[in-house]
Amino acid sequence: MSRFGGKPPMGRDRVRLSTTEKQAAVAAAKDQKPEFDNDKLLNLLRSAKSELQGMRLIHMHLSLLRDKDPSSQMIVRTIIQELASKASYLQSFNISNGDVIILYKGLKLTGVTDVCQKVEQIFLAKTTLIGANPYKEFSLYSIMELALNFINVIRFIEELQANETGDHSNETKPPITLEEMAKLERSMQMFDLSPFLFNQAIANIGRNAEEDMAYFELYISIKLLQERLCPDYDITANKWLFNYFTANLDQSVLRALNHGLSFMRGRRIGININLSTVISTGFVKFDERLPLDFRGQVVLEISKGDLIENLSLFNEVVEFAQDRRYQIAVDGLNPFWVTNFDLEYLNADYAKIFWSNDMLEMDPTFEKYFMERIQEQDRCKFILARCDSVSSLVYANKVGITMVQGRAVDNILRKGVSVREAIAHAKVA
């Protein structure tokens, strides 16, 4: 029997207690800390490492809720039970910082995502998140392949064991309010965004690539923009207001690009954009004014979260993009999503995976499957983004990813060196 099946608790001998003893036991129980499952989860993971294949993990980041609810862990576990009858295995763990971690097998990703979104909507209807979760996402939940994130989860629990504060007192700015967002929106309509508009190269490292650069991603530095226009508030803290902000930011970027793309002449460009923006009148104006030599040279980068939440709209955007000769990049993926998304079916031209050092510790069986999925995609090209070290570039080359982006790429290009040559030299060294 699988170790994940668990064992029933040991039986107890019946002992008669006097009334005084019962009262003392109740009083002692009230003084004790709540029981958490940190040790239970750690022991389970350590004892069953060889059985992780096919196991997935849901991490509910309840500790990031601004207004804590003592019953939140129970609420989550009750809702998650909707999945239990359909799963071949499902077990929930209350973590000492207030989070809930669920291990499961045998469930479709769409069904799991629906339930997680339901949980998120319930909590975020009452309060907000105080910041990004440990995986750099502004989401109450994360869904992961356990084989890929095994070390990550172990470290997370061990750090909690070593430091049981669960304290988020390092937050320095309050989340932006509706009133402040309205002020920011008015400011952006009159503000020159050009000093905050940057471009970053996506370099080709494949042997058969005709050009050294695939395209250049244009982006606004939200951090710098916040410091300039809204220094007293955290724009990213409230997920819904942040989405609203990025939609307005899209329109500002389109207006800036309408004034001229001469600074990017001769280069293919990528634009981070919300799905809702692509069907807006602002984008129609941008499309009408797009110089002829840029037609077919623009990539629309759509975030994974936007795609999941608005799949039908994504399909509409793909049809529009094909008609108007734009290409589509799905942004913000990790190996788990690569193995669960059919990117060919989604008609994506590019898929951008965010680099993490944990990819170096990937389970060999899962890594093989990950590499096979990359090779299976005939039309969709993969980009390893946020590469901050030479080891990340070497890893991209190893698994068959033919494009790279990040600080490590920028540093190499500043020296006038080919990224391909730098990787080849690193492999030899």
- Percent of the chain's residues with pLDDT above 90: 35
Query: Residue 387's pLDDT band (boundaries 50, 70, 90)?
Result: very high
CA–CA distances in Å: residue 286 to residues 2, 222, 252, 258: 58, 22, 11, 6
300 or 15, greater pLDDT: 300
The pLDDT assigned to 7 comes to 39
Amino acid at 221: S
135 vs 78, residue with greater confidence = 78
Q: What is the pTM of this model?
A: 0.70
pLDDT tens-digit profile of 65-77?
Answer: 988 888 899 999 8
The pLDDT tens digits of the residues spanning 284-318 come to 999 998 888 889 999 999 999 899 889 999 999 99
pLDDT digits (tens, 9 = 90+) for 31-67: 444 578 888 888 887 776 556 677 899 999 999 998 8
pLDDT at 284: 92
| pLDDT given at position 17 | 43
336-379: pLDDT as tens digits: 899 888 888 899 999 999 998 889 888 888 899 999 999 998 88
* For residues 178-207, average pLDDT: 85
